[in-house]
Amino acid sequence: MELTTLDYHTAGEPLRIVTSGLPDVRGESMLAKRRFMQENLDHYRRFLMLEPRGHADMYGAVLTEPVTSDGNVGVLFLHNQGYSTMCGHGIIALVTAGIEQSLFDIPDPERVCIDTPAGRITARANLGLDGKTESVSFLNVPSFVLLPDCKLEMEGRAVDASIAFGGAFYAYVDAGLFGLELVPSEVSRIIRLGREIKRLCNRQYAIRHPVGDADLNFLYGTIFVKPLGQVNRSRNVCVFADGELDRSPTGTGVSGRAAIHYARGELGLNETLEIESIIGTGFRVRCVEETTQGQYAAVVTEVTGSAHICGKQYFTLDERDSLREGFLLR
């Protein structure tokens, strides 16, 4: 086994993009391609995401042929537990790498059409005077609030949560309920609480996308939210997959956040939210259009952030290696 990758980061969150060595990922739709990789090529995910080549918080992307007539590329997103349905930080890094490294054909940097398991993403590279990508903005799949008032019992207290979709489903919780400041010294506790909230929500509530494929019907993670004392400025920390902690503000997560605030009347069309990560990096998000998803009111969000290259990697496997499929320590 020999693979090459490009490693980028978006606001601190890694994206390992496979550039060669992976067999064709088959399927007529992106969800079908996702299932094919789960069932037939998962050892490649483990090889790249887990130790000793990756780590508990590694994240990756596999490029595929688009499944739409006007798509520029298809993409599957990988993590320590499996496969995402959409990833905002991944889109930002992918478009940046696509332009900088000519990964796929981009005739128009202002309109990059990307097929994901959650649906079509349309991105725009914001170029500087030197022609380099300063940031990327993308129009996400419709975001909506599924369950605005979830009630959980944790650590002897009542905890309110909202479940919203922004390309994946998340449970949103006020960090102040747990006395969290959402800073790096709290990482272990944030992960523990995030896992428990996800477990409780999955036990008590049915997660169903009103119009999407059944493969979208799962709670991806927990997002803790903390206001920062200014209007439209706050901090997000997301715990997803098997206890992964996002270093970025989470592109799909800020989309769900925007949908929650829009539904509450706290955010209007084209008003920008600035959302920080646990390390102080940021995304901007705004609602640009109203729409619906089945019986639910929804919004189309635009998310903006920046990505940077970390390195180019060549990975190989010694056939005698007993750890060929990797391992995971937290």
Catalytic residues: 87
Q: Which two tokens stand for residue 150?
A: 């979830």
- Alpha carbon 300 to its chain's center: 16
Q: Which residues pair with 2 in a beta bridge?
A: 316
**Nearest-5° angle of CA 39, CA 41, CA 44?**
140
d(CA 244, CA 258): 22
- Burial degree of 24 (CB within 10 A; 0-12, 13-18, 19+): exposed
Tokens 């994240």 locate to: 59
Residues 6+ apart with CB under 8 A from 95: 106, 112, 114, 123, 125, 133, 136, 138
